[in-house]
Amino acid sequence: MSYSQGDIVKIGGLEKIHFVITSKNSFIKALGVFHVCPLFSEFADGPLHITVIGKKGTKGTVICEQIKMIDPDVRTVNKTDSLKYQDIMNISDAIQGMFEYD
């Protein structure tokens, strides 16, 4: 299965939590791994907590400071939904903002 930035997935062993793929598509293609952030259904939004609704109706708040790398060859990953481009941009901006210089 191919994965893309903005896909909402469930990961084996963590089936009760959704995750959003945050890595750029070129990164995913080159390395075969990707970064994810958890998507919680009940969490207050904020500068690093982005509220989203997937194209199929998955709702929640992306917790951008909890970024993790996943290897889909090692973990069972199932795509359940995907985000609109505007949501992908908002999440990417929040993550990038954590690493900018002062």
- Whether 89 shows a pLDDT value over 90: the answer reads yes
- Residue 61 and residue 53: Cα distance in Å, rounded? 9
Q: What is the pLDDT of residues 42-78, one digit of tens each?
A: 889 899 999 999 999 999 999 999 999 999 999 999 9
Q: Can you give the pTM of this predicted structure?
A: 0.93
CB 25 within 8 A of CB 75: no
CB 34 within 8 A of CB 102: no
φ/ψ of residue 79, rounded to 5: -75, 130
Q: What is the pLDDT of residues 13-47, one digit of tens each?
A: 777 899 999 999 999 999 999 999 999 998 898 99
pLDDT at 15: 72
- Residue 94 and residue 97: Cα distance in Å, rounded? 5
Split at pLDDT 50, 70, 90, the class of 7 is very high
In order of start, what are the domains of the chain with their CATH numbers? 7-96 (2.30.30.110)
